[in-house]
Amino acid sequence: MARIVDVAELAGVSTATVSRVLNGKTVRPDLDAAVRRAVDELGYSPDRTARSLRRRHSDVIALVLPDIENPFFTSLARGVEDVAQEAGLSVVLCNTDDDPVKEQRYLQIVAAENMAGVILAPAGGTAALAALLERGRAVVVVDRPVPEPVDQVVFDNVELGRIAAGALIDRGYRRIACITGPRTTPTAVDRATGWAQALAAAALDAPDDLLVHADFRVEGGRSAMEGLLGTEHPPDAVLATNNLVGVGALRALAHGDHAVGVGIIGDLPFATSNVENVSFLPLRPREMGLAAARMLVERVRDGAGPVRTLVQGSADLVAPSSGVLRE
């Protein structure tokens, strides 16, 4: 079996240089290329168990998400994986189903298995991170902010709600409903707050019957939209505060002759129905994944430094379109 000293000898460099390359650290391009050629030629494979013992953590990180079937989180995961692979880290994907108990179990596994760190989209407004932080594990929270002192990559969700609702107001709608996620999810609450602020700024009412909390899934959006349509005074427009809720709302509107405008925070992920009178506020989740993974890699390599929060902006508002959205 090839040893690190054999790689160094063949590449004409020191073992320290080989180690730097294998750990994803920067060296001169010619030296990096020489080490990688020697690794390939010798079939060298680092003893990851020994490295884990020396560094007190493995080369594995966890990505803990609330709903891996949601294309938003699928795209986010792709961004994380791209950066992790480049840094020599492997990613374990965990799905919590928005269940705090299931989430806590996954975080316990991260600690027990000495993983290098975790990127987490929390199920609620807080997370059980104390054990990981005490062990010096790297933690980055994405999408849903938490009060714990950890690195975070989030959106200004109140602003997203204001922009998306404002677009509906600009299109002439006046009785605008909001379908958002659970009250326990900060993203859902903040986007609804932005909706209410936009209506207040336009001197429009935002009564309780126009705000519906559902789950952040297709069925939640469909059921909420059907409920709104069945009221004595249905809305003339609706803001869906995430992509899957938007899909559900459109499916409900497709059954019948409903002249209701729709605004969606996020992109429609798959074929739904006619998307006439729909505006979108894209979120670029892959960029969020890229940014979070870069922050995590920095923490894994050098745990020092102040806690950081990166607030990502949205893409430009996409104006209403007509036709059928296709996959």
Question: Span 253-265, mean pLDDT?
Answer: 87
Which residue in 44, 181, 162 sits closest to 123, CA to CA?
Answer: 181
Instruction: Return the pLDDT at 314.
Output: 61
Q: Is residue 327 part of a domain?
A: no
Instruction: Return the pLDDT at 327.
Output: 27
Query: In angstroms, rounded to a whole number, what is the distance separating the alpha carbons of residues 122 and 96?
Result: 9
pLDDT at 227 over 90: yes
Question: Is the same domain home to 206 and 134?
Answer: no
Query: In angstroms, rounded to a whole number, what is the distance separating the alpha carbons of residues 327 and 323?
Result: 13
Each residue's pLDDT tens digit, 262-299? 999 998 766 445 566 788 898 999 999 999 999 999 99
pLDDT at 40 over 90: no
Structure tokens at 177: 């409903």
Confidence of residue 319 (pLDDT cuts 50, 70, 90): low
Question: Is the same domain home to 257 and 290?
Answer: no
Question: Is the same domain home to 164 and 267?
Answer: yes
Confidence of residue 13 (pLDDT cuts 50, 70, 90): very high
Instruction: Return the pLDDT at 322.
Output: 37
Instruction: Return the pLDDT at 99.
Output: 93
Q: Considering its fold, how many domains does the chain have in total?
A: 3
Instruction: Return the pLDDT at 286.
Output: 94
Q: Is residue 173 part of a domain?
A: yes
Question: Span 180-190, mean pLDDT?
Answer: 93
Query: In angstroms, rounded to a whole number, what is the distance separating the alpha carbons of residues 196 and 190?
Result: 10
**Amino acid (1-letter code) at residue 85:** Q
If DSSP states are collapsed to H, E and C, what string results for the chain? Answer: CCCHHHHHHHHCCCHHHHHHHHCCCCCCHHHHHHHHHHHHHHCCCCCHHHHHHHHCCCCEEEEEECCCCCHHHHHHHHHHHHHHHHCCCEEEEEECCCCHHHHHHHHHHHHHCCCCEEEECCCCCCCCCHHHHHCCCEEEEEECCCCCCCEEEEECHHHHHHHHHHHHHHCCCCCEEEEECCCCCHHHHHHHHHHHHHHHHCCCCCCHHHEEECCCCHHHHHHHHHHHHCCCCCCCEEEECCHHHHHHHHHHHHCCCCCCEEEEEECCCCCCCECECEEEECCCHHHHHHHHHHHHHHHHHCCCCCCCEEEECCCCCEEEECCECCC
Question: Span 62-84, mean pLDDT?
Answer: 94
Specify the higher pLDDT residue, 6 or 320. Answer: 6
Each residue's pLDDT tens digit, 92-113? 999 999 999 999 999 999 988 8
- Name the pairing type of β-strands 278-281 and 318-321: antiparallel
Range(s) of the domain holding residue 40: 4-46
Question: Is the same domain home to 230 and 276?
Answer: yes
Which residue in 36, 49, 300, 309 sits closest to 155, CA to CA?
Answer: 309
pLDDT at 20 over 70: yes
Instruction: Return the pLDDT at 259.
Output: 84
Question: Is the same domain home to 207 and 267?
Answer: yes
Instruction: Return the pLDDT at 174.
Output: 95
Q: Residue 85 sits in a domain of what CATH number?
A: 3.40.50.2300
Q: Is residue 174 part of a domain?
A: yes
Q: Is residue 31 part of a domain?
A: yes
Q: Is residue 172 part of a domain?
A: yes
Question: Is the same domain home to 60 and 138?
Answer: yes
Q: Residue 32 sits in a domain of what CATH number?
A: 1.10.260.40
Which residue in 107, 194, 93 sits closest to 146, CA to CA?
Answer: 107
Question: Is the same domain home to 261 and 170?
Answer: yes
Question: Span 101-126, mean pLDDT?
Answer: 90
Instruction: Return the pLDDT at 131.
Output: 85
Question: Is the same domain home to 273 and 297?
Answer: no
Instruction: Return the pLDDT at 163.
Output: 94
Angle, nearest 10°, between helix axes 29-42 and 15-22? 90
22-26, 118-122, 180-184, 247-251: least confidently modelled range:
22-26
Question: Is the same domain home to 164 and 247?
Answer: yes
Chain centroid to CA 107: 17
Q: Is residue 146 part of a domain?
A: yes
C-beta neighbour count of 219 within 10 angstroms = 14
Question: Span 50-63, mean pLDDT?
Answer: 63
Q: Is residue 86 part of a domain?
A: yes
Q: Is residue 326 part of a domain?
A: no
Query: In angstroms, rounded to a whole number, what is the distance separating the alpha carbons of residues 261 and 292?
Result: 34
Instruction: Return the pLDDT at 179.
Output: 98
Question: Is the same domain home to 162 and 250?
Answer: yes
Q: Determine phi and psi for 47, rounding to 5 degrees.
A: -80, 95
Instruction: Return the pLDDT at 21.
Output: 84
Which residue in 312, 294, 290 sits closest to 138, CA to CA?
Answer: 294
pLDDT at 315 over 60: no
Instruction: Return the pLDDT at 59.
Output: 85
Question: Is the same domain home to 107 and 135?
Answer: yes
Instruction: Return the pLDDT at 50.
Output: 44
Question: Is the same domain home to 89 and 233?
Answer: no
Instruction: Return the pLDDT at 199.
Output: 97
46-60, 119-133, 172-186: least confidently modelled range:
46-60
C-beta neighbour count of 182 within 10 angstroms = 16
- Cβ neighbours for 255, distance < 8 A, ≥ 6 positions apart: none
pLDDT at 120 over 80: yes
Structure tokens at 191: 């986007």
pLDDT at 175 over 90: yes
Question: Span 158-179, mean pLDDT?
Answer: 95
